[in-house]
Amino acid sequence: MKVIEKKLIELGYQKIETPLLSDFNQTRIYLSEVEQKNAIKVTSPDGRVLNLRCDSTLAMVLSKTNKIEQNIYYFEPNYNYDFEKNQMNEVYQIGIENAKFGIAKLEQNNAELAYGLESLELAITLLKEKERSNLLVEVSNEALFMEVLDDLSLGEEEKEKLLYFIKRRNAKEIRICLEQSAVSINVIEVLVKLTSHPIQLDLVLSMIENITIFNKLTQWLEVISQRIGNDLLFEGLPDASKPYYSGLSYRIYDKENHLLSVSGGCYYFEAFEVAGCGFTIPMEVISC
């Protein structure tokens, strides 16, 4: 922790604390169903349902903790309840945020991507400060990938069914869903591969090259390739994606044990006029 904190201070980051309690009715909008269930809730004297901090980015945005024009970081616990193990978890993590209040979403995809790649590069730098160099990086853009699925002109029921199997990585059923629609064989083959498991970036680019439906995704991946290199993976719809991610999201794993070392991405909260990017590094889990 001290090594990372020293580096962040050198880079001009300011330490903050986010609120321990938030209004659950506001928080739940930005949580997955599992996260909503696992959030630890309390009732305030005036009858409101509050939740213990389960996501520091959300806590920061909902309270507008950071109205300063400066990059910030925090070292604090988040809380959740594991119903399978019947225990509460206190998860300590370092979070780094570059959030701007009172601004519109960065409409130009490359501008948002530049922000995101800057945060990804910082995450890699900080892990190397902790003497972690054998890293596996996965990148995703759920919004762009959903645009590809929208361009397939599937009916709502067909699309929901397809998404159901994509989230479960069921390649056989994904193929069946696509074959029942008017999707070309080339596109079917690519989508089955992209949604079954993460794939090396250079292989993805070779697969989707010159297929019109993937043009935006191709341009986006080419920018990443030029900035970061090809030694990373692309995943269509990641399991760990946050509902509020608006563009690039990424996960960094330790290659030796495949444990998650960093998760982050670009986000946009329209209701609060907040756009930015950030990531967290899990440090310690205390269960009780």
Three-class SS state of 271: helix
For the chain, domains (ranges, CATH) are 2-104+273-287 (3.30.930.10), 135-266 (3.30.930.10)
Q: Cα-atom radius of gyration of the chain, to the nearest Å? A: 20
Q: Which H or E run contains 32?
A: none
Percentage of the chain exceeding pLDDT 90: 61
Alpha helices in the chain (DSSP H): 2-10, 24-27, 33-38, 56-63, 109-129, 142-150, 156-167, 171-179, 185-196, 201-208, 215-228
Tokens describing residue 277: 């990017």
In this structure, the strands spanning 14-15 and 72-82 are parallel
pTM assigned to the model = 0.90
pLDDT tens by residue, 18-27 = 999 999 999 9
| pLDDT surpasses 80 at 120 | yes
State the first-to-last Cα distance of the chain, in angstroms, to the nearest integer: 23
Q: Which H or E run contains 270?
A: none
Query: Which of these, 174, 235, 177, 167, lies nearest to 204 by C-alpha position?
Result: 235
Residues near 49 by beta carbon (within 8 Å), at least 6 away in sequence: 23, 24, 25, 41, 42, 43
The per-residue pLDDT for 231 is: 86
For the CA atoms of 69, 74, 80, 84, what is the dihedral angle to 10 degrees? 120
| pLDDT surpasses 80 at 121 | yes
The per-residue pLDDT for 243 is: 81
d(CA 166, CA 158): 12
pLDDT tens by residue, 228-279 = 987 899 998 886 668 888 889 999 998 888 888 999 999 888 888 788 899 9
Three-class SS state of 277: strand
The per-residue pLDDT for 67 is: 59
